[in-house]
Structure formats: C-alpha cells, structure tokens
Amino acid sequence: MFALYKKEIRSFLSSLIGYIVIAVFLLVIGLFMWIFPGENNVLEMGYADLNTLFYIAPWVFMFLIPAITMRMFAEEKRTGTLEIIFTKPITDLQIVSAKYLAGVTLVALTLLPTLVYYITVYSLGSPVGNIDAGGTMGSYIGLLMLAACYVAIGLFASSITSNQIVSFLFAAMISFFMYAGFASLGEYNLLGSADHFIKQLGIAEHYDSISRGVIDSRDMVYFIAIILVFILLTKTVINSRKW
C-alpha cells in the first residue's frame, strides 16, 4: 500500500501538470487577494484576515482537484496497468486508500505555500499580529476537509471511466453539486422545514460552520461520512471489474 502511495506522489510531482496545478492555485488566490480591486482585496478591505483565501479556494479546488485525481484510475485503465496492480498482494480497499491518501497529500502540499499569505497578513495587521489565529486555523481545517471530500469524489469519478477528460468533468460536476447544489435547493423554500435539512446535505453549510473557527463534531462527522461513502463507491466500482 505504501509503495503505491509513493508511486502516486512521484508520478504527480514528476509531471508538468503537478506543478501547473500548484502554480495555478497560488496564482488565482494571489490575484484575488492582492491584485484585483474589490472587496476581496486584502489591501483595500482594511481587515487583517484570510477570508478571501477561504472564500475563493473551494471554487478553485472544484476544478484543480479533479485535475489531480482524473488520471489515478482512468489512466491505469487506459494503459492496462490496473490489472497488474490487482495481481499484487494488496486488497481493493488498500489500493483505493493509497490513491486517496496520495491525493490528500498533494492537496496539502498545494495549501502549504499559502502560509506565506498568513505571515504577510499577520505582518500587515495593526498592531502586528492582529489576526484571528483560532478562526484562521479552523478555516484551514475546514478547507482541508472540504478538499479531502473533493479528492474522494474525484477518485470515484476516475474509477468509472478510462477517459481522463470525462473523469475531470464528472468530478467537477459532482463537487459543484455537493458544494453549491444543495445550498441552492434549500434557498428556494419549496419544502418548508425540510429546506434546512437539504442545506445540511451540502458541503458548503458545514464548511462555513467550521470556517467560523468552531470545530463542531457534527461537521467533522459529515465530512468523514462523505469521504467514506465515495471511497466505498470507488471500491465497489473497482471490485466490479473482477465479476
């Protein structure tokens, strides 16, 4: 399992797309935070916080994470190497878990450079250090959990096709619906008291909750449940190839 995990990490970092994904994420976030004028510009809004990062990142990840995961199973299927992996002394769940953990690790590596933004905002505060460290930490945890859900979704999308483009589009669509779809449906007020329940099914509701700096066990249970559901779905799809 660990060998497969390392293989996925090396494969991503040895390809140009890996560095493009990281660079695009940092560039987009940096442009909104420091260059583009408006309410998201840290220098213009006059507050020492990273709200722009935590508002924009879920939307950017919605496309970048599928770019990371789209090849994990689709490429293995296309080249026939997935059959070789099945011959190794490793279970289907270990295969899925190794690829999933590799995806989460790569996302964490993408987030790591954003600590430079935290240090910058920390230094720009008046007085220096006038930033809600607890709220920022909660937001980082929420963003990492959201990204972990996107990785699980992307892995599932990659498992059902041998075409990377189809995998990318399918993962982006599911991620969009999970993040914004349920929230939008709940806003229509069509089902009365059930509208709140519908909102609770979406990622955005729980991500926003953690981003306030309060780590609620209900939110963590939700994220873990979403991750497990898509991992098990992926395992089922992979296992079906043996039927």
Measured between its terminal Cα atoms, the distance across the chain in Å is 23
Structural tokens at position 21 = 């994904």
Spatial CA neighbour of 53 closest among 125, 147, 123: 147
Separation of alpha carbons 99 and 166, rounded Å: 19
If you write DSSP's letter for every residue of 215-237 in order, what string do you get? --HHHHHHHHHHHHHHHHHHHHH
Would the pTM count as exceeding 0.75? yes
Q: What pLDDT, on the 0 to 100 scale, is given for residue 42?
A: 77
Structural tokens at position 168 = 């990318």
Radius of gyration, alpha carbons of the chain: 19
Structural tokens at position 61 = 């990840």
Q: What are phi and psi for residue 15, nearest 5 degrees? A: -105, 155
Give yes or no for a contact between 150 and 170, defined as CB atoms under 8 angstroms apart. Answer: no
Separation of alpha carbons 230 and 49, rounded Å: 33
* Residue whose token pair is 């496309």: 63
Q: What pLDDT, on the 0 to 100 scale, is given for residue 172?
A: 96
Spatial CA neighbour of 173 closest among 188, 146, 152, 154: 154
pLDDT tens by residue, the chain, 243 residues: 778 888 888 887 787 777 888 888 889 888 888 888 877 777 777 676 788 889 899 999 999 999 989 988 988 888 878 778 877 888 889 999 999 999 999 999 889 989 888 888 888 777 776 787 778 888 899 999 999 999 999 999 999 998 999 999 999 999 999 998 887 776 766 666 677 778 888 999 899 888 877 788 899 999 999 999 999 999 999 887 655
Give yes or no for a contact between 227 and 70, defined as CB atoms under 8 angstroms apart. Answer: no
User: Which residues form the domain of 97?
Assistant: 2-240
Residues 6+ away with beta carbon under 8 Å from 161: 74, 77, 167, 170
Separation of alpha carbons 223 and 207, rounded Å: 9
Q: What pLDDT, on the 0 to 100 scale, is given for residue 11?
A: 81
Domain total in the chain:
1
**DSSP tag of 163:** -
Q: What pLDDT, on the 0 to 100 scale, is given for residue 241?
A: 65
